[in-house]
């Protein structure tokens, strides 16, 4: 019985989170001497991009009724094709909306926010994020079947090319409960939860007019931007950038915190970043205790200079 | 219009999280409990609908007697009445089952939840409840209006937002943005006094099965000591990030 994995796409294009989920599924399949079957809804990308990460089979669901997202309709679609006992999802907004509904349809255990490959396969046991980044839980599935959602950027993307095959599955799921009225999505912008580098700033930046230098640094690094809660509360930055215990939990390879004091609620959301750089003019700022590298000084001087130096490095 | 708001009781956000010596459980010693912050956005939204549309707002918690102060706080914020299903929450599925049981007979037009509880971070209960009730589900909701038998909900998506109309009854999970931070209600004296006499009904649990067990817990490992770089030596910072951490 194959390991199934939901390969999420945006407007037909696979997300990095899809590749990560396939990589994760592949690591389990290898342990079990099993294969990986990826499921995708109305993709336009070629399946080759999923074979590259280890998907032996790709089931492309074609259904005009699924043009727009509906958690329930998508869960029904996945339910029809995912016949295995292990189903992997990325922990994206859409996938983490489908997974709980599917868990009910399939009488499965659902383990969300998973960080590593399972510690045990039968019963399925795995380490997951808990207490909003303040702790970890080793969760054990009691049901026969298990659905997991993999925390983004935790396992990583691993190339593992196989020669795969594709199957088209035509479905006609009815969706009368929800109707999309409008959809705004900026395609060029780097997704905060997927980003490998995040440049984040807090109240120390004094006002929204000073974010130009933050964006310059972010652009130079190919990074996404984030902010502390008060910065989004007062409307300097959009809510979508708020990281922390009550915002997004992220785990980039590099997190640069500028003018952020390092309150416990902020740290909770970012402390699983692999490397943390803190820039703050107060040597006593608590954030330095949770940093790998620190610079005490004025962000308004440091940031433009740092951006120049990184530009020079990148040539 | 009847609204059910599901609230979970969680450690105050300033809490340090410790585990018991054998690491088998969360150590509740000295913890202050609060309404899950994401649920507070949902609750506030419900109170706004109570004011604008005459909705009645019932808060529901699956918990043991220790959650009652948190339920009273929700009543002080403005809920009409409350229900506690007497059970220590064990996993998302069993909690969702209890909520669905209540909803099955309650005739609610709308069930509001938070997107995720900040303690166990399941992000699972609302979707499970929706499926158990065979209702539509909108997650990560950042805006909501009710027009008769339909809701217009805005949900956050990666890199943007989407506006959807949803047939009621439905389950909607909210987060920050559903109402403005400044609109969150801090209970006043009158609210606190009246909360004491508002109905808080207790119902026995149906003892449904548990599907996920927390077998053990770990704290977050401490980072190695921070390396400080002076502001006039940013070349060194760039070098460290490039050569040592290998992240740029
Ligand atoms: C229920 C609840 C939930 C919360 N959830 C979150 C959450 O999810 N995420 C979150 O971030 N917060 C959260 N908070 C808020 C948190 O407690 C802090 O208030 C917040 O993180 C502080 O934001 P800040 O660091 O930007 O601002 P401040 O604490 O004001 O810090 C600003 C920092 O900038 C520095 N600074 C000033 N000028 C300069 C300069 N020129 N150059 C360099 N540095 C400078 C200062 O030294 C200071 O350290 C929550 C709070 C509550 C009560
Ligand atoms: N014990 C509980 N009682 C009532 N509602 C709950 C409980 N646990 C979770 N919920 C609701 O489900 C949401 C998501 O919780 P979770 O799936 O545990 O992350 C919360 O924000 C609450 O709205």
How high does pLDDT run on average in chain B?
97
Per-residue pLDDT at B240 exceeds 90: yes
Kindly state the percentage of chain A with pLDDT values over 90: 96
Q: How far apart are the first and last CA of chain A?
A: 50
User: Parallel, antiparallel, or unpaired for β B137-147 and B170-174?
Assistant: parallel
How far away, in angstroms, is A187 Cα from ligand 1 center?
A: 30
Per-residue pLDDT at B196 exceeds 90: yes
Whole-number Å distance between alpha carbons of A257 and A165: 44
Q: Does A186 touch chain B (CB under 8 A)?
A: yes
**Using one digit for the tens of pLDDT, what is the confidence trace for A215-243?**
999 999 999 999 999 999 999 999 999 99
Question: Residue A262 CA: which ligand 1 atom is closest?
Answer: 25
Name the residue among A242, A246, A210 with its Cα closest to residue A225: A242
* Residues of chain A with C-beta less than 8 angstroms from the C-beta of B16: 134, 264
How far away, in angstroms, is A189 Cα from ligand 1 center?
A: 25
For an interface test with A, the pick among B28, B41, B95, B220 (most A C-beta atoms closer than 10 Å) comes out as B220
Per-residue pLDDT at B163 exceeds 90: yes
Whole-number Å distance between alpha carbons of A8 and A10: 7
Residue contact B164–A133, C-beta within 8 A = no
How high does pLDDT run on average in chain A?
96
Residue of B nearest to A93 (CA): B157
**Using one digit for the tens of pLDDT, what is the confidence trace for B211-237?**
999 999 999 999 999 999 999 999 999
**Using one digit for the tens of pLDDT, what is the confidence trace for A51-81?**
999 999 999 999 999 999 999 999 999 999 9
How far away, in angstroms, is B213 Cα from ligand 2 center?
A: 16
Per-residue pLDDT at B161 exceeds 80: yes
As for the ipTM of the complex, it is 0.97
Residue A250's pLDDT is 96
Residue contact A104–B165, C-beta within 8 A = no
Per-residue pLDDT at A165 exceeds 80: yes
Name the residue among A174, A166, A256 with its Cα closest to residue A217: A256
How far away, in angstroms, is A243 Cα from ligand 2 center?
A: 21
Among protein residues, the one with the nearest Cα to ligand 1's atom 26 is A202
Name the residue among A9, A70, A1 with its Cα closest to residue A39: A9
User: Parallel, antiparallel, or unpaired for β B150-157 and B160-167?
Assistant: antiparallel
Residue contact A178–B164, C-beta within 8 A = yes
Tell me the β-bridge partners of A125.
A120, A140
Among protein residues, the one with the nearest Cα to ligand 2's atom 14 is B116
Q: How far is A113 from chain B (nearest CA, A)?
A: 8
């Amino acid at each position: 019985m194959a390991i199934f994995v939901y390969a999420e796409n945006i407007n037909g294009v696979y997300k990095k989170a899809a590749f990560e989920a396939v990589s994760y599924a592949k690591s389990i399949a290898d342990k079990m001497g099993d294969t990986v079957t990826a499921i995708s809804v109305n993709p336009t990308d070629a399946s080759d991009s999923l074979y590259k990460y280890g998907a032996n089979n790709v089931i492309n669901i074609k259904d005009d009724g699924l043009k727009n997202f509906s958690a329930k309709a998508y869960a029904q679609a996945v339910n029809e094709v995912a016949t295995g006992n292990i189903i992997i999802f990325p922990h994206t907004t859409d996938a983490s909306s489908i997974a709980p509904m599917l868990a009910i349809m399939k009488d499965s255990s659902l383990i969300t926010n998973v960080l590593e490959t399972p510690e045990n396969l039968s019963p399925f046991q795995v380490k997951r994020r808990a207490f909003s980044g303040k702790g970890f839980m080793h969760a054990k599935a009691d049901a026969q079947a298990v659905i997991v959602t993999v925390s983004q950027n935790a396992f990583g993307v691993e190339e593992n090319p196989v020669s795969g095959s594709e199957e088209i599955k035509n479905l006609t799921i009815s969706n009368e409960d929800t109707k999309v009225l409008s959809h705004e999505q900026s395609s060029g912008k780097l997704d905060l939860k997927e980003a490998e580098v995040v440049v984040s700033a807090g109240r120390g930046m004094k006002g929204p007019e000073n974010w130009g230098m933050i964006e310059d640094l972010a652009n130079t690094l190919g990074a996404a931007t984030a902010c502390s809660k008060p910065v989004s509360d007062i409307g300097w930055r959009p809510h979508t950038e708020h990281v922390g215990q009550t915002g997004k939990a992220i785990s980039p390879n590099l997190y640069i915190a500028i003018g952020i004091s390092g309150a416990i609620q902020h740290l909770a959301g970012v402390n699983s970043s692999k490397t943390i750089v803190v820039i703050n003019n107060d040597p006593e700022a608590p954030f330095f205790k949770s940093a790998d590298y620190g610079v005490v000084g004025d962000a308004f001087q440091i940031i433009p200079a740092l951006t120049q130096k990184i530009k020079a490095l990148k040539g | 219009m009847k609204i059910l708001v599901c609230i979970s009781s969680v450690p105050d956000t300033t809490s340090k999280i410790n585990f018991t010596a054998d690491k088998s459980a969360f150590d509740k010693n000295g913890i202050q409990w609060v309404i899950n912050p994401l649920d507070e956005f949902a609750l506030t939204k419900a109170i706004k609908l109570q004011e604008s549309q005459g909705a009645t707002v019932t808060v529901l918690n699956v918990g043991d007697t220790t959650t009652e102060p948190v339920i009273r706080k929700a009543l002080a914020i403005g809920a009409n009445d409350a229900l506690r299903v007497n059970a220590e929450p064990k996993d998302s599925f069993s909690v969702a089952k209890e909520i669905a049981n209540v909803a099955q007979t309650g005739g609610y037009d709308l069930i509001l939840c938070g997107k995720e509880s900040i303690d166990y971070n399941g992000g699972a209960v609302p979707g499970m409840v929706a499926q158990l009730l065979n209702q539509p589900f909108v997650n990560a909701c950042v805006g909501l209006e009710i027009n008769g038998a339909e809701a217009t909900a805005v949900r956050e998506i990666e890199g943007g937002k989407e506006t959807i109309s949803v047939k009621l009854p439905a389950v909607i999970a909210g987060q920050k943005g559903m109402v403005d931070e400044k609109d969150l209600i801090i209970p006043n004296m009158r609210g606190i006094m009246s909360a004491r006499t508002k109905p808080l009904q207790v119902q026995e649990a149906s003892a449904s099965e548990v599907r996920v067990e927390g077998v053990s817990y770990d704290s977050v490992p401490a980072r190695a000591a921070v390396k400080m770089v002076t502001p006039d030596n940013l070349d060194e910072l760039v070098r460290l990030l490039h050569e040592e951490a290998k992240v740029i």
